Structure 1
């Protein structure tokens, strides 16, 4: 079941996970003891004020993500959606090429919003009419300070880690090295997030909440997993940038559909025959392609081919024993990196003909070959 979406004018859809309610409940339980010290407050008052803190945290996270989204959009990126989850939130956007400075600004926009909220709540607290509202504003200010500081820590997947990754990526020879550095900093932070509450619980067993310990463990696990995801994404991006149609393609025989079976290259009916290109099968390419203006491209149906008697083969066109795959895609031999991946995704074809500088077909690339290249390494 998809998460419900909140749509506000001028903003991308905001998807609200049901687990957000768990975050509200946890924050409500954690801050409730701070309200019980207010003189004369009732249990209902404690619940209302604590719940208000939990809801304000969700609103603060939403504003944090909206900050990311607005700066990303201003930088030329397409913002798909904002998601509010158990762990806070994230903004999904697509940008083919964003410079280091815009990337840093996108990353730091969220913490900057929390900083503004923290200062505004602190100023409003001075004019609060009662102890309850004063304490509520203090809590909101403190939580937003914590969000701002936590998110600018220089390790992935935090915003500060992404900003540092962008800066290092502009300075170091390999962007993947920048990701490795910031991801491992993120993993050290994850260990500290888990160890902090655990050590506090061991040293002060009566004053450390079990909920805080469990929450720290869960957040630490989330950070560790996020750092690992960043490392995998960096490896994938590196492999994408290394792709080139001319390097991926294989040169295989191309046969017209109206050509008689006797015109097939030697060994065409046997994919393991010596006449087959050495790397075609190993790289997931067909051993021969049949071309037809109406049907596109196809591969030989070996059983149908074997059923045609030898004397009749001069009169049987190759198209009669072909399994058609539809119209092929077309890729320039020099197409590479993200441009190559985008072209393949846009054309949505299983087989792509690689076109040389003079317009002739110089080879074949299949989607399976590209997937295999991306999975290696």
Structure 2
């Protein structure tokens, strides 16, 4: 989802915080839009503006303050999710602020019945509370600037809460819908229903945005549609690979090379075995990885030790789904499997994972068909 992110030096509640590159574009744009419509906001919040508020760069400075307040509100919204997840023993890997708000990346979705709905509703509850607190604080503040900023925060947090309650994945409302459906239906079936609802809603939002000429609504509709499709794929992967560990799928018989092997000898081995990459092992211990692309510019006498690189490695007890996600995120086609002592015990390739997916999918389909046939009988 995120093309490039920048880590921030502080960690709210110990959670890493990142800014996507799109955030740096949308923040000044949002400040400009708010500043350009300052007169409309002042009228909406029933504020009598002083002439200086509408002069020069002042409206855009106020717009920048309001935009920063919006993203701080989004951050608190995501921290609400993180705190609710923590109550179920689920850690939040990272919170990322980007073009359309924020995303709290949880390590997993709790399997407890209704847990996803509790975690999902926590964000809108925080936004409702921020809206109410901002509205109440307006009565204690004098001055047009304070009245405007608090009025904007009350309005935008209420909008944020209501928008996120739309029943579309990956919005909070879609997660609540899926969690409630999963109370009496299989999780995968509940996901498929929630995804179907999400796509219908995305189509409706896109059509409305097209009719009224709202580019932002079209962008949100596109995001919801694509994210709902990704959610469906992720759920299928999660359920299909559920319970499988790397050690269950890895190839245990691995061809290796010693660090003292020459490039000429390595090329001969590659030709004979039709492999383009090997773990570099000495006395059973993994030292590195060597592949055909690492040999560019090397002489025939160069030793493997001089050209090898650190391997992408994983433990045999790691979940198969986590291995697949890591391959996708980091662009690896295989992971070297090592035990706690650093000894090579196997290798896991995308082919191993895809084969497991195909076999388990076929088995689930067959079992499902048998169950339905038994029910019909």
Q: TM-score, normalised by structure 1?
A: 0.63
**1:190 maps onto 2:202 in alignment:** yes
Counterparts of 1:155 and 1:59, CA distance in 2: 24
Q: Which moved more, 1:365-374 or 1:216-225?
A: 365-374
Counterparts of 1:96 and 1:29, CA distance in 2: 38
Deviation at 1:197, TM superposition (A): 3.4
2:190 equivalent among 178, 190, 214: 178
1:144 equivalent among 157, 167, 183: 157
2:29 equivalent in structure 1: 26
**1:231 maps onto 2:232 in alignment:** yes
Q: Is the 8 A contact 2:250 2:348 kept in 1?
A: no
Counterpart secondary structure, 2:15 = coil
Counterparts of 1:248 and 1:71, CA distance in 2: 34
Q: CA offsets, 1:290-332, max 9 Å, x none?
A: xxxx659xxxxxxxxxxxxxxxxxxxxxxxxxxxxxxxx998x
Aligned pair in 2 of structure 1 residues 195, 128: CA closer, same or farther (>3 Å)? farther
Counterpart secondary structure, 2:96 = strand
Uncovered stretches (5+) of structure 2, i.e. residues with no partner: 43-48, 254-282, 286-313, 327-334, 340-344, 362-377
**1:156 maps onto 2:169 in alignment:** yes
Q: CA offsets, 1:206-265, max 9 Å, x none?
A: xxxxxxx22222221111111011011011112113859999799x9xxxxxxxxxxxxx
2:7 equivalent in structure 1: 4
Greater C-alpha radius of gyration: 1
Deviation at 1:105, TM superposition (A): 1.6
Counterpart secondary structure, 1:19 = helix
Counterparts of 1:126 and 1:236, CA distance in 2: 52
Q: Is the 8 A contact 2:238 2:321 kept in 1?
A: no
**What is the count of residue pairs matched by the alignment?**
281
Deviation at 1:172, TM superposition (A): 0.3
Deviation at 1:17, TM superposition (A): 2.0
Aligned pair in 2 of structure 1 residues 239, 24: CA closer, same or farther (>3 Å)? same
Aligned pair in 2 of structure 1 residues 374, 60: CA closer, same or farther (>3 Å)? farther
Counterparts of 2:315 and 2:36, CA distance in 1: 66
Q: Is the 8 A contact 1:75 1:98 kept in 2?
A: no
Aligned pair in 2 of structure 1 residues 195, 133: CA closer, same or farther (>3 Å)? farther
Deviation at 1:374, TM superposition (A): 4.8
Q: Is the 8 A contact 1:183 1:227 kept in 2?
A: yes
Q: Is the 8 A contact 2:10 2:16 kept in 1?
A: yes
Q: Is the 8 A contact 1:157 1:223 kept in 2?
A: yes
Counterparts of 2:242 and 2:150, CA distance in 1: 49
**1:220 maps onto 2:221 in alignment:** yes
Counterpart secondary structure, 2:201 = helix
Counterparts of 1:78 and 1:164, CA distance in 2: 23
Q: Is the 8 A contact 2:168 2:224 kept in 1?
A: no
Aligned pair in 2 of structure 1 residues 124, 157: CA closer, same or farther (>3 Å)? same
Deviation at 1:340, TM superposition (A): 6.3
Counterparts of 1:9 and 1:137, CA distance in 2: 23
2:352 equivalent in structure 1: 370
Q: Is the 8 A contact 2:203 2:221 kept in 1?
A: yes
1:82 equivalent among 95, 108, 112: 95
Counterpart secondary structure, 1:241 = coil
Deviation at 1:81, TM superposition (A): 1.1
Aligned pair in 2 of structure 1 residues 147, 235: CA closer, same or farther (>3 Å)? same
Q: Is the 8 A contact 1:239 1:373 kept in 2?
A: no
Aligned pair in 2 of structure 1 residues 171, 48: CA closer, same or farther (>3 Å)? same
Aligned pair in 2 of structure 1 residues 177, 136: CA closer, same or farther (>3 Å)? same
Deviation at 1:2, TM superposition (A): 4.7
Counterparts of 1:66 and 1:249, CA distance in 2: 37
2:60 equivalent in structure 1: 47
Q: Is the 8 A contact 1:118 1:141 kept in 2?
A: yes
Uncovered stretches (5+) of structure 1, i.e. residues with no partner: 202-212, 253-293, 297-328, 353-363
Query: RMSD of the TM alignment (CA)?
Result: 3.9
Aligned pair in 2 of structure 1 residues 366, 147: CA closer, same or farther (>3 Å)? same
Q: Is the 8 A contact 1:18 1:85 kept in 2?
A: yes
